Amino acid sequence: MKPDFDKIIDRRHTNSLKHDSCDVVFGREDVLPLWVADMDFPVPEAVIGAMKKRLEHPVFGYFTHSEAFYQSIVDWMRRRHAWEIDKDWICFTPGVVSGLAMSVQAFSRPGDKIIVQPPVYHPFYYVVERQGRVLLYNKLIRGEDQYFMDFPDLEEKLKSGAKMLLLCNPHNPVGRSWTKEELQKLGELCLKYHCLVVSDEIHADLIMKGYVHTPMASLSPSIAGNTITFMAPSKTFNLAGMASSEAIISNPVLRKAFFDISNGALHINMGNTFGDVALEAAYTHGEAWLDALLEYLNKSSDYLTNFISKKLPALRLYRHEATYLIWVDFSALGVGHKALQNKLVHEGGLGFSEGSIFGPGGEHHMRINIACPRSVLETAMERLQACRF
């Protein structure tokens, strides 16, 4: 049966961060929550079925990741990304952000320089700064309707001795699906200056029509040897609450150093029973559901793009290449970002992610999460139009 993404599911009173924390985040309980990156859609039936089946057994003791768990990841990477990986390269992590934090711990020392490419997903800053490392900003360049990497600036930062680069591939919030050429250039520069690439590919499966995802580590054996990749079913299948994701590390030296932290020092490589069950079921049986989701998201993206271009031409949009997050520039309205957020929340009843949280270059932007039923998105756009800027 085709999934029904139009159906509105009331998520309030389920301890949903997106729906039940609006009073804390926006100062109002009743905003339309189009902010944190999860979806208002039910997960694939096969995932629910597998979890119910596991629930029939009444013991939930310690467990190990099964062969089928690892195989489901290997097969997914081959089928969806034409990327051949080995089971031995996979390390479980209880989320991608914790994986990024462990990478910082494993491969740098306090005081080391780590490059990020703002505006970018805000925990990239925290995992570096809160562990006493130094952030270097290789800011993205805004083109007409797309962002680009600033390679001359990147080379300067690499020359200054950066130990690591946190790559967001595809990029949240600017929505770029980086091309092979861009990634190759970045990969080769990092190799030249001995800078490790930590590639967060959590949005890899959410690619809009006309674009493809390239796993950084699929480019060449030498780039793979200098890359740690993070993937997960959490964005793809709306399973963030399962806190289960995977690091893929082909270089055995890097893998051992990572495992020494995740398993040795921190002892957090087990996860939870349902996380494993959900991951395996989603990767094994979720492909048709994902294809239907992508079709729906493409239509929602087209709807929002048409609406804003026709009815709110002062707002600037970028090409939406990947993720279900749309990055919108409000700067032409000449409203400061705090005032803008206030207006959207209190006049529009709209809960978007305010752009300045994503660091330099994010000011005067909003990130709109379109992973909701179309009717909700339509209401949001009507409310946006009704705001008197």
Give the C-alpha distances (Å, rounded to integers) separating 113 from 73, 159, 354: 32, 11, 27
| 158 versus 279: smaller Cβ distance to ligand PLP | 279
Q: How far is the CB of 121 from ligand PLP (least distance, A)?
A: 4
Q: How far is the CB of 100 from ligand PLP (least distance, A)?
A: 7
- The DSSP code for 7 is -
Cβ atoms of residues 23 and 351 within 8 Å = no
| 271 versus 373: smaller Cβ distance to ligand PLP | 271
Q: How far is the CB of 37 from ligand PLP (least distance, A)?
A: 3
Residue 333: burial class (beta carbons within 10 Å; 0-12, 13-18, 19+): middle
Give the C-alpha distances (Å, rounded to integers) separating 73 from 68, 78, 275, 280, 339: 9, 9, 13, 8, 45
Amino acid at 264: G
Cβ atoms of residues 238 and 207 within 8 Å = no
The residues with which 167 forms a beta bridge, in sequence order, are 199
Residues with Cβ within 8 Å of 315's Cβ and at least 6 positions away in sequence, in order, are: 308, 328, 329, 330, 332, 333
Cβ atoms of residues 149 and 182 within 8 Å = yes
| 272 versus 379: smaller Cβ distance to ligand PLP | 272
Q: What residue number has its CB nearest to ligand PLP? A: 95
Cβ atoms of residues 201 and 169 within 8 Å = yes
Q: How far is the CB of 125 from ligand PLP (least distance, A)?
A: 12
Gap between the Cα atoms of 39 and 31, Å rounded: 16
| 281 versus 312: smaller Cβ distance to ligand PLP | 281
Q: How far is the CB of 215 from ligand PLP (least distance, A)?
A: 15
Tokens at 75, concatenated: 């097969």
Q: How far is the CB of 387 from ligand PLP (least distance, A)?
A: 26
| 39 versus 312: smaller Cβ distance to ligand PLP | 39
Say which residue the tokens 């990749």 belong to.
Answer: 229
Q: How far is the CB of 152 from ligand PLP (least distance, A)?
A: 25
Q: How far is the CB of 317 from ligand PLP (least distance, A)?
A: 19
| 113 versus 203: smaller Cβ distance to ligand PLP | 203
Gap between the Cα atoms of 191 and 342, Å rounded: 45
Give the binding site for ligand PLP (CB under 6 A).
37, 95-97, 121, 168, 172, 200, 202, 232, 234, 240, 245
| 135 versus 387: smaller Cβ distance to ligand PLP | 135
Tokens at 121, concatenated: 């997903």
| 244 versus 312: smaller Cβ distance to ligand PLP | 244
Residue 378: burial class (beta carbons within 10 Å; 0-12, 13-18, 19+): middle
| 244 versus 251: smaller Cβ distance to ligand PLP | 244
Gap between the Cα atoms of 162 and 173, Å rounded: 24
Q: How far is the CB of 236 from ligand PLP (least distance, A)?
A: 11
Tokens at 55, concatenated: 């629930």
Residues with Cβ within 8 Å of 67's Cβ and at least 6 positions away in sequence, in order, are: 87
